[in-house]
Structure 1
Amino acid sequence: MPPRSRRAVLGTAAFALTGAVTGCLAAPRTDPEPIDDDGRPPSTGATAQFRGGPRRQGIFPDATVPTDPTVEWVHRGVNTGDHTAAKASPVPTPDGDVVVPGDTGEVRRFTPDGDVVWTAAVEETARGIHGTPALANGTVYVGAYDGALYAFDLETGERFWRRKLGDAIGSSPGYHDGVVYIAVEYYEPSGAMFGVDAVTGEVVWEDRRPTDHPHSTAAVDREAGRLVVGANDGHLYAWTYPDRSFAWAFETGDAIKGPVATHDGSAFFGSWDRRVYRVDLADGSREWAVETDGRVMSGPAVEAATDTVYVGSHDSRCYALDAATGAVRWTFDTGGRITGCPTVAGDHVLVGSYDGSCYTLEKGTGDRAWAVDGVGEVTSTPVVVDGAVYFADRAAEAYLDGDAEGRPGGVYKVGGG
């Protein structure tokens, strides 16, 4: 890796976040800081981002999963913290590598053989990174709990710029048409949505309506003309797109913490009020709500071809719902909370669980095809790259308690057949 340039070492002093859980921030907010823009990424199209694209549908129809699954490698030490938010998920590069952030504050690029191509770091690592990057312009865009959005060179890991936006970022960035969109947390006021120029890092749009430390991941639906995001204040917020004028807010009974997906003129999302919702993107009216037996932090996967919504719940079940009516088609009980998002890969649904397993289910029936067991609490979203499954788990309780035999969280590659 070449020496770091001046832009890679400039930046502002980091600060420590206090509070044991997301939303428990006590210090006064800090002002946005100037970017270092002596190095800029090129301006080209997007390559990959969390849930597969701006609509966050989590559907990969041409992907195939292993038939004889084997854990080919594990890289430990990616996640070492006790923060309960879902962990960041791997995202594929155009040439078959994966980029994986962790709550240590480090971002790594891995080859399919498990070799580390480069490691980059954010400036404050108390809680590190929980959002999954967007890859565009040959650049890795990711937010961190130091309240900054970062742009790293995809090839070398060198930092292009750092834009300080608030006091914490736990959401995943979204990219469209040269702008990176991300939800940001403040101490006071307690939230905002930003649009940041992908090349320069300059703020091009800001709205402070989302409150109570939002870390939901936004969706952009160009056909419906909407940008939508959830917030811990229990509201789903919508703006017109691409002009980004405020349109409406829809209220649920508790926090909206997970990603929002869009399909067929509607937004699909879960709430901590134990429901999964479908809301009309045009006017914010409720189309249906399905009650589960636990909080819903998982983000839905929405498949247009079968008109099906796949989503997890704290009640340990993965649900397949009729997208038009919300009727339950099937459920699968994993035995542990599901806080990460299901991924649809061809004929299968992949989902991680707090029971220490990553499951592959038959899409049509919900029957278990296979599972990787004993890996740890899987709160990241599984991703399939060239027939292999990648996911990350949390640090084990024994590790967090200081046990020398305890296991830090890692990233896994599952291949075979």
Structure 2
Amino acid sequence: MKFFSAVFLVIALCCAFSACKKDNSPVEVEAEPATNQTVFMSDFDGGIYAFNAQTGEALWEKHVDNAVRDGFVVTNKLAYVPKHDDSIEAYDVNTGEMKWQVKLEEASFFSNNVIVIDGILCTSGHNYLIGLDATTGQQKWRVNSFSGGNLYAKDGMLYVESGPELTAIEASSGSIKWRLAHEKYPQVPYWMDETLYGYATVSERDSSSYQHPFKIHPFIISFDLKKGTLALNQRIPDKYHPGRLFATSPDRVFISYGATSPGRLSSWSKKGMELMWDVPITLAIGFPSPFYSQSYLYTGNEQGILYRISEKSGEFQELCRLPGRIGSSPVVANGVIYVGSGDTETVVEQLYAIEEATGKVKWSVPIKGWIAKVSPVVLDSNGKMHYYSASAMPK
């Protein structure tokens, strides 16, 4: 009896080992959740700041001799700061030491005009594009005859929007891969996730009306970035004009529209462009662009109210109230919302860290200069940059 028991045990162990070897994949060890390490901020008076993202403790502060434009970038252990004197400066993220400075010829003033792709800093001027070595600032390439425009990046490629034309350029070499001219003029901004989207309009002459001789038809368009072709060309009802692309998520496109304040907000499925919901916008004029995180859009208004908008239902939830107006787009990183707010009466500007789950303020720190439209940038322990931008930038 003991012999048969021993044989059965051996067979059972062999079967178990075989099942594990053939059918069961190894158990993956979950990586530790990233923690926010540093939050960077700039202001329109030339201030550049670095704070401990957990406590708000000041790490370093710089003041430059010209105002800082919005759209600065943190990557490669450097913070790249575009300035109003047509120069770009690179600062060490740990010490604030300036590593290099490059003076440009008539730099462009688009908000997302500086992008770092695979070690190349790409930017545009009045009539050119330029690629700089992101470590040294030395010029790598230059392409002339470009009339400015917004810049976007994906998979080592730079995409340049200039009027009714989209151009794809290899970031490493500056070589043009394709140009796509399209009749529908897209109103910037675009949003890129897996695709580049835009809200566009087409005018049609209306001979029956002397007061309004043209009818305007709105469209949602998208581009196949591999082929350089128009992928989506979906007309939506005319009532959604005037409008703009408010945000996108992995599954939705959000359009704000209405000729009068406060207007309305609509949600459309990317597959088939089906209308999912349409709700009144409860925000005041001047609200900043939203930030998408975990099925919600986050945005604020001039009354200092930070809203959380449900992707599923369109419900507006008041998350918290801050002193003054919220002028910058919020940034959500690993469960914390970072946003700037200013009080126009007392001229006190603050950077806030707010718990995403509860709306509770974790800490706030003063910013010396005006921060309207300037959004923070967060660097976490995995080296990931969290930021608001209309473009897709390297992680």
**TM-score, with length taken from structure 1:** 0.63
Alignment match of 2:166 (pick from 193, 200, 221): 193
How many pairs are equivalent? 307
CA contact (8 A) 1:218 1:229 kept: yes
Q: Work out whether 1:327 is the aligned partner of 2:321.
A: no
Quick one: structure 1 residues 315 and 285, their matched pair in 2 at CA, closer, same or farther if it must change by over 3 Å? farther
Once the two structures are TM-superposed, the CA of residue 349 in structure 1 deviates from its matched residue by 0.4
CA contact (8 A) 1:321 1:329 kept: yes
Quick one: structure 1 residues 347 and 331, their matched pair in 2 at CA, closer, same or farther if it must change by over 3 Å? same
Q: Work out whether 1:92 is the aligned partner of 2:74.
A: yes
CA contact (8 A) 1:279 1:285 kept: yes
Q: What does residue 282 of structure 2 align with?
A: 292
Q: Work out whether 1:205 is the aligned partner of 2:179.
A: yes
Q: What does residue 229 of structure 1 align with?
A: 198
Once the two structures are TM-superposed, the CA of residue 159 in structure 1 deviates from its matched residue by 1.9
Quick one: distance in 1 between partners of 2:318 and 2:226? 37
Alignment match of 2:356 (pick from 354, 363, 371): 363
Aligned-residue identity in percent: 18
Q: What does residue 160 of structure 2 align with?
A: 182
Quick one: distance in 2 between partners of 1:337 and 1:77? 27
Once the two structures are TM-superposed, the CA of residue 320 in structure 1 deviates from its matched residue by 1.0
CA contact (8 A) 2:220 2:232 kept: no
For CA contacts below 8 A with separation 6 or more, give which structure has more relative contact order.
1
Q: What does residue 261 of structure 1 align with?
A: 248
For 2:300, the aligned partner's letter is G
Alignment match of 2:268 (pick from 236, 260, 279): 279
Quick one: structure 1 residues 269 and 203, their matched pair in 2 at CA, closer, same or farther if it must change by over 3 Å? farther
Q: CA offsets per residue over residues 206-247 of structure 1, 9 Å max, x none?
A: 2344537x44143031xxxx3213469976432345433241
Alignment match of 2:369 (pick from 371, 376, 382): 376
CA contact (8 A) 1:350 1:361 kept: yes
Quick one: structure 1 residues 300 and 232, their matched pair in 2 at CA, closer, same or farther if it must change by over 3 Å? farther
Q: What does residue 108 of structure 1 align with?
A: 89
Gaps of 5+ in 2: 1-32, 38-52, 203-217, 344-348, 388-395
Alignment match of 2:114 (pick from 127, 133, 137): 133
CA contact (8 A) 1:295 1:315 kept: no
Alignment of 1:33-44 (within 5 A): none
Q: What does residue 120 of structure 1 align with?
A: 102
For 1:359, the aligned partner's letter is Y
Q: CA offsets per residue over residues 338-385 of structure 1, 9 Å max, x none?
A: 453211122210112354222221111222222223433322221112
Once the two structures are TM-superposed, the CA of residue 268 in structure 1 deviates from its matched residue by 4.0
Quick one: structure 1 residues 176 and 386, their matched pair in 2 at CA, closer, same or farther if it must change by over 3 Å? closer
Q: Work out whether 1:218 is the aligned partner of 2:198.
A: no
Q: What does residue 31 of structure 1 align with?
A: none
Alignment of 1:310-349 (within 5 A): 310-314=298-302, 316-349=304-337
**TM-score, with length taken from structure 2:** 0.66
CA RMSD for the aligned pairs?
3.5
Quick one: distance in 1 between partners of 2:386 and 2:85? 16
- The structure carrying a bigger strand percent of its residues is 2
Q: CA offsets per residue over residues 309-350 of structure 1, 9 Å max, x none?
A: 212345543211222112123333345554532111222101
Once the two structures are TM-superposed, the CA of residue 138 in structure 1 deviates from its matched residue by 1.1
Gaps of 5+ in 1: 1-59, 81-86, 186-190, 393-417
Once the two structures are TM-superposed, the CA of residue 71 in structure 1 deviates from its matched residue by 6.1
CA contact (8 A) 1:347 1:362 kept: yes
Give 1 or 2 for the bigger CA radius of gyration.
2
Q: What does residue 18 of structure 2 align with?
A: none
For 2:233, the aligned partner's letter is W
For 2:156, the aligned partner's letter is G
Q: What does residue 20 of structure 2 align with?
A: none
Q: CA offsets per residue over residues 177-225 of structure 1, 9 Å max, x none?
A: 332123324xxxxx4333223223415132344537x44143031xxxx
Alignment match of 1:168 (pick from 145, 148, 169): 148
